[in-house]
Amino acid sequence: MAKLSINGQMIDIDVEPDTPLLWAIRENVGLTGTKYGCGIAQCGACTVHMDGVAMRSCGVLVSEAVGRQITTIEGLAINGVLTRVQQAWIDHDVPQCGYCQSGMIMAVAALLKDNPQPSDADIDDAITNICRCGTYQQIREAIHAAANV
């Protein structure tokens, strides 16, 4: 058993403490917007925020997440109002298959919190998630657009 704070709610789940946070979120909490791509912290599809910091949840154990504020893609928009990052993603028609995009959006949201006007080089350093469809060009445009809202 573990008690996690996810998207502002305390949730009790029946799970081994060494379960990756990714799978606890997807299977025990039932929030499937956070995706599994590699399980070894390489692709970023599973990115969530822990106390406001972008983390690859496949590499975080449930025991390490206890007592932290976790935000998933489902918790990004407040009262159904999309964040400027999500809105920029829609305006620039960024997603292709979309499977990487939850993780991308979470990573970008964290970047913009720390660095509201990132340069291309800042983006290159901070955004290391994989998109196999190759939406990087639109992602870069959308990040700059979101930064300039």
Partner 1 sequence: MNPMRQLDRRAFVVGAASAGLALGFDVPFGGPTAVRAADGTREVNAWVVIRPDDTVVIRIARSEMGQGTLTGLAQLVAEELECDWSKVTTEYPTPGQSAARKRPWGSFNTGGSIGIRASQQYVRRGGAAARVMLLQAAANEWKVPAVECVAADSVITHAPTGRTVTYGKVAEAAAKLEPPTDVELKDPRDWKIAGRSMKRLDTADKTTGKMIYGIDVRLPGMLSAAIRACPVFGGKLKSFDEAKIAGLKGVGKVMRVGDDAVAVIADTWWRAKTALDALPIVWDEGDNAKVSSASIAGWLEEGLDPAQPAFVGNADGDARGAIAGAARTIEAVYDYPYQNHAALEPLNATALYTPDKCEVWTGTQDGERAFTAVVQASGLPSDKCDVHKVMLGGGFGRRTVPDYVRQAVLIARQMPGTPVKLVWSREEDMTHGRYHPVTQCKLTGAFDADDNLTGLHMRISGQSIAASSTPELLKDGMDPFTFQGVASSGEAFANIGPARLGYTIPHLLIDHSMRNPHVPVGVWRGVNGNQNGIYLECFMDELAHSAGQDPLAFRCKLMANHPKHLAVLDAVAERVGWSSPAPQGVFRGIAQQMGLGSYVAAAAEISVTDTNRIRVHRIVAATDPGTVVNPAQIERQIAGSFVFGLTGLFYGGCTVKDGRIAQTNFDTYNAMRIREMPKVEAIVMPSGGFWGGVGEPTIAVAAPAVLNAYFAATGKRIRSVPLSNLDIVFA
**Interface ranges with partner 1 (CB under 8 A):** 16, 19-20, 23, 27-28, 30-40, 42-43, 45, 72-74, 76-77, 82, 86, 89-90, 93-102, 105, 123-125, 127-140
- Nearest partner of 133 among 105, 91, 94, 90, judged by Cα: 94
Interactions with ligand FES, residue window 114-133 (CB under 6 A): 131-133
* Burial per residue of 109-129, b for 16 or more beta-carbon CB atoms within 10 angstroms, e otherwise: bbbbeeeeebeeeebeebbeb
- Smallest gap, in angstroms, from Cβ of residue 79 to ligand FES? 27
- Smallest gap, in angstroms, from Cβ of residue 20 to ligand FES? 8
Does residue 70 interact with ligand FES by CB under 6 A?
no
Interacting partner of 65 out of ligand FES, partner 1, none (Cβ under 5 to 8 A depending on kind): none
CA distances from residue 90 to 17, 61, 109 in whole angstroms, order as listed: 37, 32, 15
Interactions with ligand FES, residue window 22-41 (CB under 6 A): 22, 36-39, 41
Residues 113, 45: Cα–Cα separation, whole Å: 20
